[in-house]
Structure 1
Protein backbone atom coordinates (compact mmCIF):
# COMPACT_ATOMS: atom_id res chain seq x y z
CA UNK A 1 0.00 0.00 0.00
CA UNK A 2 2.81 2.38 0.91
CA UNK A 3 4.58 1.51 -2.36
CA UNK A 4 1.43 2.36 -4.35
CA UNK A 5 1.21 5.78 -2.67
CA UNK A 6 4.88 6.42 -3.44
CA UNK A 7 4.36 5.51 -7.12
CA UNK A 8 1.27 7.70 -7.39
CA UNK A 9 3.10 10.61 -5.83
CA UNK A 10 6.00 10.12 -8.23
CA UNK A 11 3.66 10.09 -11.26
CA UNK A 12 1.93 13.23 -9.99
CA UNK A 13 5.24 15.03 -9.67
CA UNK A 14 6.21 13.96 -13.20
CA UNK A 15 2.92 15.33 -14.53
CA UNK A 16 3.39 18.60 -12.67
CA UNK A 17 6.97 18.85 -14.00
CA UNK A 18 5.79 18.22 -17.56
CA UNK A 19 3.03 20.82 -17.21
CA UNK A 20 5.50 23.33 -15.86
CA UNK A 21 7.85 22.73 -18.80
CA UNK A 22 4.96 23.11 -21.24
CA UNK A 23 3.84 26.40 -19.66
CA UNK A 24 7.44 27.66 -19.73
CA UNK A 25 7.79 26.72 -23.40
CA UNK A 26 4.52 28.39 -24.33
CA UNK A 27 5.52 31.50 -22.40
CA UNK A 28 8.86 31.58 -24.20
CA UNK A 29 7.11 31.25 -27.56
CA UNK A 30 4.71 34.08 -26.73
CA UNK A 31 7.61 36.25 -25.65
CA UNK A 32 9.48 35.50 -28.87
CA UNK A 33 6.40 36.43 -30.90
CA UNK A 34 6.01 39.64 -28.93
CA UNK A 35 9.63 40.58 -29.47
CA UNK A 36 9.37 39.81 -33.22
CA UNK A 37 6.23 41.94 -33.52
CA UNK A 38 7.92 44.75 -31.65
CA UNK A 39 10.93 44.53 -33.99
CA UNK A 40 8.70 44.67 -37.08
CA UNK A 41 6.87 47.66 -35.65
CA UNK A 42 10.15 49.47 -35.01
CA UNK A 43 11.30 48.76 -38.56
CA UNK A 44 7.98 50.04 -39.94
CA UNK A 45 8.29 53.22 -37.92
CA UNK A 46 11.87 53.72 -39.07
CA UNK A 47 10.75 53.32 -42.70
CA UNK A 48 7.92 55.82 -42.26
CA UNK A 49 10.29 58.28 -40.61
CA UNK A 50 12.74 57.88 -43.50
CA UNK A 51 10.35 58.13 -46.49
CA UNK A 52 7.21 59.66 -45.00
CA UNK A 53 3.67 58.28 -45.08
CA UNK A 54 2.87 55.82 -47.88
CA UNK A 55 -0.34 54.50 -49.40
CA UNK A 56 -0.93 51.23 -51.21
CA UNK A 57 -1.75 51.73 -54.88
CA UNK A 58 -5.15 50.46 -55.96
CA UNK A 59 -5.16 47.19 -57.87
CA UNK A 60 -5.39 47.89 -61.62
CA UNK A 61 -6.57 44.40 -62.52
CA UNK A 62 -4.17 44.08 -65.44
CA UNK A 63 -1.90 41.11 -65.93
CA UNK A 64 1.72 42.15 -66.23
CA UNK A 65 3.29 40.09 -69.04
CA UNK A 66 6.80 38.85 -68.58
CA UNK A 67 9.03 41.06 -70.71
CA UNK A 68 11.45 39.17 -72.92
CA UNK A 69 14.84 40.82 -73.16
CA UNK A 70 16.05 41.55 -76.71
CA UNK A 71 18.16 38.90 -78.35
CA UNK A 72 21.87 39.66 -78.08
CA UNK A 73 23.40 40.79 -81.35
CA UNK A 74 26.39 38.67 -82.36
CA UNK A 75 28.68 41.60 -83.16
CA UNK A 76 31.86 39.57 -83.17
CA UNK A 77 30.37 36.98 -85.53
CA UNK A 78 29.23 39.74 -87.87
CA UNK A 79 32.73 41.22 -87.86
CA UNK A 80 34.20 37.77 -88.55
CA UNK A 81 31.80 37.19 -91.44
CA UNK A 82 32.62 40.59 -92.90
CA UNK A 83 36.32 39.78 -92.67
CA UNK A 84 35.74 36.44 -94.42
CA UNK A 85 33.87 38.18 -97.23
CA UNK A 86 36.67 40.72 -97.67
CA UNK A 87 39.21 37.91 -97.95
CA UNK A 88 37.06 35.66 -100.17
CA UNK A 89 36.24 38.26 -102.85
CA UNK A 90 39.52 39.24 -104.41
CA UNK A 91 39.99 42.26 -106.65
CA UNK A 92 42.87 40.45 -108.38
CA UNK A 93 40.71 37.61 -109.70
CA UNK A 94 41.10 37.23 -113.49
CA UNK A 95 37.57 37.33 -114.79
CA UNK A 96 38.11 38.27 -118.43
CA UNK A 97 38.51 34.70 -119.68
CA UNK A 98 35.24 33.68 -118.03
CA UNK A 99 33.06 36.41 -119.53
CA UNK A 100 31.17 36.10 -122.80
CA UNK A 101 31.17 39.34 -124.74
CA UNK A 102 29.01 38.65 -127.72
CA UNK A 103 26.54 41.48 -128.37
CA UNK A 104 26.24 42.01 -124.61
CA UNK A 105 28.31 41.00 -121.62
CA UNK A 106 27.32 37.77 -119.87
CA UNK A 107 28.67 34.98 -117.67
CA UNK A 108 27.56 31.42 -116.98
CA UNK A 109 29.19 28.67 -114.98
CA UNK A 110 30.76 25.77 -116.90
CA UNK A 111 28.17 23.16 -117.75
CA UNK A 112 25.30 25.61 -118.23
CA UNK A 113 23.85 25.91 -121.73
CA UNK A 114 23.73 29.05 -123.85
CA UNK A 115 19.97 29.25 -123.33
CA UNK A 116 20.48 30.15 -119.65
CA UNK A 117 22.06 33.52 -120.48
CA UNK A 118 19.56 34.08 -123.29
CA UNK A 119 16.54 33.46 -121.06
CA UNK A 120 18.05 35.60 -118.32
CA UNK A 121 18.59 38.44 -120.80
CA UNK A 122 15.04 38.08 -122.12
CA UNK A 123 13.58 38.44 -118.64
CA UNK A 124 12.26 34.88 -118.30
CA UNK A 125 13.09 35.08 -114.58
CA UNK A 126 11.35 37.86 -112.67
CA UNK A 127 13.71 40.12 -110.72
CA UNK A 128 12.88 39.52 -107.05
CA UNK A 129 15.30 41.86 -105.29
CA UNK A 130 18.00 44.41 -106.07
CA UNK A 131 20.93 46.21 -104.51
CA UNK A 132 22.29 49.61 -105.51
CA UNK A 133 26.02 50.02 -104.88
CA UNK A 134 26.17 53.66 -105.98
CA UNK A 135 28.22 55.88 -103.69
CA UNK A 136 29.83 53.04 -101.71
CA UNK A 137 33.56 52.72 -101.19
CA UNK A 138 35.20 49.57 -102.53
CA UNK A 139 35.25 47.74 -99.18
CA UNK A 140 31.67 48.77 -98.42
CA UNK A 141 30.47 47.64 -101.84
CA UNK A 142 32.29 44.29 -101.52
CA UNK A 143 30.75 43.55 -98.12
CA UNK A 144 27.29 44.77 -99.17
CA UNK A 145 27.29 42.65 -102.34
CA UNK A 146 28.55 39.52 -100.54
CA UNK A 147 25.87 39.89 -97.86
CA UNK A 148 23.17 40.61 -100.45
CA UNK A 149 23.97 37.50 -102.50
CA UNK A 150 24.21 35.26 -99.44
CA UNK A 151 20.94 36.47 -97.88
CA UNK A 152 19.06 36.35 -101.21
CA UNK A 153 20.18 32.77 -101.73
CA UNK A 154 19.20 31.79 -98.17
CA UNK A 155 15.74 33.27 -98.76
CA UNK A 156 15.27 31.12 -101.85
CA UNK A 157 15.43 33.98 -104.39
CA UNK A 158 16.55 33.00 -107.90
CA UNK A 159 16.88 36.27 -109.82
CA UNK A 160 18.27 39.57 -108.49
CA UNK A 161 19.61 42.80 -109.92
CA UNK A 162 22.91 44.46 -108.98
CA UNK A 163 23.17 48.15 -109.86
CA UNK A 164 26.81 49.23 -110.06
CA UNK A 165 26.47 52.34 -112.20
CA UNK A 166 28.12 53.29 -115.49
CA UNK A 167 31.09 54.99 -113.90
CA UNK A 168 30.28 58.41 -115.31
CA UNK A 169 31.23 60.02 -112.00
CA UNK A 170 34.52 58.12 -111.63
CA UNK A 171 37.93 59.62 -112.46
CA UNK A 172 38.44 59.32 -116.20
CA UNK A 173 34.77 58.27 -116.46
CA UNK A 174 35.92 54.63 -116.27
CA UNK A 175 33.50 52.10 -114.71
CA UNK A 176 35.84 51.00 -111.90
CA UNK A 177 33.13 49.51 -109.67
CA UNK A 178 31.60 47.59 -112.56
CA UNK A 179 34.82 45.64 -113.15
CA UNK A 180 35.11 44.77 -109.47
CA UNK A 181 31.48 43.63 -109.28
CA UNK A 182 32.11 41.25 -112.19
CA UNK A 183 35.08 39.73 -110.34
CA UNK A 184 33.19 39.43 -107.06
CA UNK A 185 30.11 37.78 -108.58
CA UNK A 186 32.14 35.17 -110.44
CA UNK A 187 33.76 34.17 -107.12
CA UNK A 188 30.42 33.67 -105.33
CA UNK A 189 29.38 30.01 -105.33
CA UNK A 190 25.70 31.04 -105.13
CA UNK A 191 25.90 32.69 -108.59
CA UNK A 192 25.07 30.56 -111.63
CA UNK A 193 25.05 33.25 -114.30
CA UNK A 194 24.60 36.94 -114.94
CA UNK A 195 24.00 39.21 -117.91
CA UNK A 196 24.04 42.91 -118.56
CA UNK A 197 20.62 44.30 -117.80
CA UNK A 198 18.20 45.35 -120.50
CA UNK A 199 17.92 49.12 -121.05
CA UNK A 200 14.67 49.22 -119.08
CA UNK A 201 16.39 47.50 -116.14
CA UNK A 202 19.54 49.63 -116.02
CA UNK A 203 21.40 48.76 -119.17
CA UNK A 204 25.18 48.91 -118.88
CA UNK A 205 24.88 50.16 -115.30
CA UNK A 206 23.37 46.96 -113.88
CA UNK A 207 23.56 43.17 -113.97
CA UNK A 208 20.78 40.60 -113.73
CA UNK A 209 22.03 37.66 -111.67
CA UNK A 210 20.73 34.08 -111.54
CA UNK A 211 21.29 32.28 -108.21
CA UNK A 212 21.45 28.61 -107.41
CA UNK A 213 18.33 27.03 -105.92
CA UNK A 214 18.47 27.17 -102.12
Structure 2
Protein backbone atom coordinates (compact mmCIF):
# COMPACT_ATOMS: atom_id res chain seq x y z
CA UNK A 1 0.00 0.00 0.00
CA UNK A 2 2.75 2.43 0.92
CA UNK A 3 4.46 1.97 -2.47
CA UNK A 4 1.29 3.16 -4.20
CA UNK A 5 1.13 6.18 -1.89
CA UNK A 6 4.82 7.03 -2.52
CA UNK A 7 4.35 6.69 -6.28
CA UNK A 8 1.24 8.87 -6.31
CA UNK A 9 3.02 11.52 -4.18
CA UNK A 10 5.99 11.49 -6.55
CA UNK A 11 3.72 11.68 -9.58
CA UNK A 12 1.88 14.69 -8.17
CA UNK A 13 5.20 16.36 -7.24
CA UNK A 14 6.59 16.13 -10.78
CA UNK A 15 3.35 16.93 -12.55
CA UNK A 16 4.02 19.36 -15.39
CA UNK A 17 7.78 18.72 -15.54
CA UNK A 18 9.10 18.26 -19.07
CA UNK A 19 11.80 15.67 -19.75
CA UNK A 20 15.23 16.82 -20.99
CA UNK A 21 15.51 16.48 -24.76
CA UNK A 22 19.33 16.45 -25.03
CA UNK A 23 22.09 14.69 -23.12
CA UNK A 24 24.47 17.69 -22.71
CA UNK A 25 24.21 20.19 -19.89
CA UNK A 26 24.40 23.87 -20.80
CA UNK A 27 26.49 25.62 -18.15
CA UNK A 28 26.30 29.04 -19.72
CA UNK A 29 30.09 29.41 -19.47
CA UNK A 30 32.14 30.21 -22.57
CA UNK A 31 34.73 27.70 -23.63
CA UNK A 32 38.16 27.96 -22.03
CA UNK A 33 40.33 30.66 -23.49
CA UNK A 34 43.96 29.53 -23.23
CA UNK A 35 45.29 33.12 -23.18
CA UNK A 36 42.96 34.05 -20.35
CA UNK A 37 43.99 30.98 -18.37
CA UNK A 38 47.68 31.77 -18.89
CA UNK A 39 47.10 35.38 -17.75
CA UNK A 40 45.26 34.22 -14.60
CA UNK A 41 48.06 31.81 -13.75
CA UNK A 42 50.67 34.56 -14.17
CA UNK A 43 48.64 36.94 -11.98
CA UNK A 44 48.23 34.25 -9.33
CA UNK A 45 52.01 33.79 -9.21
CA UNK A 46 52.58 37.54 -8.85
CA UNK A 47 50.14 37.69 -5.94
CA UNK A 48 51.92 34.87 -4.12
CA UNK A 49 55.28 36.58 -4.57
CA UNK A 50 53.93 39.81 -3.06
CA UNK A 51 53.11 38.17 0.27
CA UNK A 52 55.58 39.54 2.83
CA UNK A 53 57.11 37.38 5.48
CA UNK A 54 58.73 39.65 8.02
CA UNK A 55 58.85 37.60 11.21
CA UNK A 56 56.57 39.95 13.14
CA UNK A 57 53.60 38.15 14.63
CA UNK A 58 50.22 39.42 15.76
CA UNK A 59 49.43 36.11 17.46
CA UNK A 60 49.82 37.53 20.98
CA UNK A 61 49.71 41.32 21.14
CA UNK A 62 50.70 42.86 24.46
CA UNK A 63 48.02 45.45 25.23
CA UNK A 64 49.32 48.67 26.75
CA UNK A 65 47.53 51.77 27.96
CA UNK A 66 47.69 55.19 26.30
CA UNK A 67 49.89 56.65 29.06
CA UNK A 68 51.89 53.47 29.82
CA UNK A 69 55.64 53.87 29.44
CA UNK A 70 57.26 51.19 27.31
CA UNK A 71 60.56 49.60 28.26
CA UNK A 72 62.23 46.37 27.15
CA UNK A 73 65.78 45.11 26.77
CA UNK A 74 67.11 41.95 25.16
CA UNK A 75 69.02 39.74 27.62
CA UNK A 76 72.68 40.76 27.75
CA UNK A 77 72.14 44.45 26.97
CA UNK A 78 73.91 46.57 29.57
CA UNK A 79 71.71 48.37 32.10
CA UNK A 80 73.82 51.53 31.69
CA UNK A 81 73.03 51.62 27.96
CA UNK A 82 69.32 51.20 28.64
CA UNK A 83 69.40 54.01 31.25
CA UNK A 84 71.01 56.30 28.67
CA UNK A 85 68.42 55.29 26.08
CA UNK A 86 65.53 55.96 28.46
CA UNK A 87 66.99 59.37 29.40
CA UNK A 88 67.29 60.32 25.71
CA UNK A 89 71.08 60.51 25.96
CA UNK A 90 71.68 58.32 22.89
CA UNK A 91 70.93 60.55 19.89
CA UNK A 92 68.49 59.06 17.40
CA UNK A 93 69.50 59.26 13.74
CA UNK A 94 66.17 58.47 12.15
CA UNK A 95 62.50 58.79 12.93
CA UNK A 96 59.36 57.00 11.76
CA UNK A 97 55.80 58.21 12.32
CA UNK A 98 53.09 55.53 12.28
CA UNK A 99 50.14 57.83 13.11
CA UNK A 100 46.96 57.06 11.19
CA UNK A 101 48.23 53.88 9.52
CA UNK A 102 46.47 50.52 9.47
CA UNK A 103 48.11 47.79 11.54
CA UNK A 104 49.32 45.99 8.40
CA UNK A 105 50.77 49.14 6.85
CA UNK A 106 52.42 50.09 10.16
CA UNK A 107 54.05 46.64 10.32
CA UNK A 108 55.42 46.98 6.77
CA UNK A 109 56.77 50.47 7.40
CA UNK A 110 58.36 49.49 10.73
CA UNK A 111 60.06 46.43 9.21
CA UNK A 112 61.38 48.43 6.24
CA UNK A 113 62.52 51.31 8.46
CA UNK A 114 64.51 49.06 10.80
CA UNK A 115 66.01 47.20 7.83
CA UNK A 116 67.15 50.50 6.33
CA UNK A 117 68.55 51.77 9.64
CA UNK A 118 70.41 48.49 10.17
CA UNK A 119 71.85 48.66 6.66
CA UNK A 120 73.43 52.01 7.54
CA UNK A 121 74.59 50.79 10.98
CA UNK A 122 72.41 53.33 12.79
CA UNK A 123 72.55 52.93 16.57
CA UNK A 124 69.29 54.54 17.68
CA UNK A 125 66.01 55.53 16.02
CA UNK A 126 62.71 56.98 17.20
CA UNK A 127 59.36 55.37 16.35
CA UNK A 128 56.27 57.50 16.94
CA UNK A 129 53.29 55.20 17.46
CA UNK A 130 50.87 57.63 19.10
CA UNK A 131 48.82 56.88 22.16
CA UNK A 132 45.31 57.53 20.96
CA UNK A 133 42.73 55.83 23.12
CA UNK A 134 40.23 54.17 20.79
CA UNK A 135 36.58 55.18 20.66
CA UNK A 136 35.50 51.68 21.75
CA UNK A 137 37.45 52.14 24.99
CA UNK A 138 40.09 49.56 24.13
CA UNK A 139 43.84 50.05 24.39
CA UNK A 140 45.81 51.93 21.69
CA UNK A 141 46.16 49.61 18.70
CA UNK A 142 49.38 50.74 16.99
CA UNK A 143 51.18 51.36 20.30
CA UNK A 144 50.33 47.84 21.50
CA UNK A 145 51.47 46.29 18.21
CA UNK A 146 54.73 48.28 18.12
CA UNK A 147 55.44 47.17 21.69
CA UNK A 148 55.01 43.53 20.57
CA UNK A 149 56.79 43.77 17.21
CA UNK A 150 59.93 45.46 18.55
CA UNK A 151 60.41 42.60 21.02
CA UNK A 152 60.33 40.14 18.11
CA UNK A 153 62.63 42.00 15.72
CA UNK A 154 66.12 40.44 15.60
CA UNK A 155 67.86 43.82 15.12
CA UNK A 156 66.29 45.44 18.20
CA UNK A 157 68.41 45.40 21.36
CA UNK A 158 65.94 47.39 23.44
CA UNK A 159 63.48 50.25 23.51
CA UNK A 160 62.13 52.81 25.94
CA UNK A 161 59.44 55.49 25.84
CA UNK A 162 60.79 58.87 24.79
CA UNK A 163 61.32 61.89 26.97
CA UNK A 164 58.51 64.49 26.74
CA UNK A 165 60.44 66.65 24.25
CA UNK A 166 60.58 63.74 21.77
CA UNK A 167 57.02 62.46 22.12
CA UNK A 168 56.74 61.03 25.64
CA UNK A 169 54.49 57.97 25.91
CA UNK A 170 53.54 58.36 22.22
CA UNK A 171 56.98 57.38 20.91
CA UNK A 172 59.92 55.08 21.69
CA UNK A 173 63.66 55.25 21.31
CA UNK A 174 64.85 52.00 19.72
CA UNK A 175 68.43 50.76 20.14
CA UNK A 176 69.59 48.63 17.22
CA UNK A 177 72.39 46.13 16.76
CA UNK A 178 75.48 47.25 14.90
CA UNK A 179 77.82 44.65 13.53
CA UNK A 180 80.46 46.28 11.37
CA UNK A 181 81.51 49.37 13.29
CA UNK A 182 83.90 49.38 16.24
CA UNK A 183 82.27 48.83 19.61
CA UNK A 184 80.04 45.92 18.67
CA UNK A 185 76.76 45.81 20.55
CA UNK A 186 76.52 42.06 20.95
TM-score by length of structure 2 reads 0.63
With CA pairs under 8 Å and 6+ residues apart, which has the higher RCO, 1 or 2?
2
The equivalent of 1:167 in structure 2 is 132
Gaps of 5+ in 2: 1-44, 180-186
Picking from 141, 145, 162, the partner of 1:176 is 141
The equivalent of 2:58 in structure 1 is 91
Q: Please, what is the CA RMSD of the aligned residues?
A: 2.6
Instruction: Give every structure 1 segment of 4 or more consecutive aligned residues whose post-TM-superposition deviation is greater than 4 Å.
Output: 79-82
Structure 2 distance, partners of 1:90, 1:163, is 20
The equivalent of 2:70 in structure 1 is 105
- 1:104, distance to aligned residue in structure 2 (A): 4.2
Gaps of 5+ in 1: 1-75, 97-102
SS at match of 2:172: strand
Larger Rg, first or second structure (1 or 2):
1
- 1:143, distance to aligned residue in structure 2 (A): 0.6
Instruction: Judging by fraction of residues, say which structure has more helix.
Output: 1
Alignment of 1:16-95 (within 5 A): 80=49, 83-85=52-54, 88-93=55-60
After superposition, the Cα gap between the structure-2 partners of 1:148 and 1:80, relative to the gap in structure 1 and judged at 3 Å, is farther
Contact 1:132 1:162 in 2 (8 A): yes
The equivalent of 1:155 in structure 2 is 120
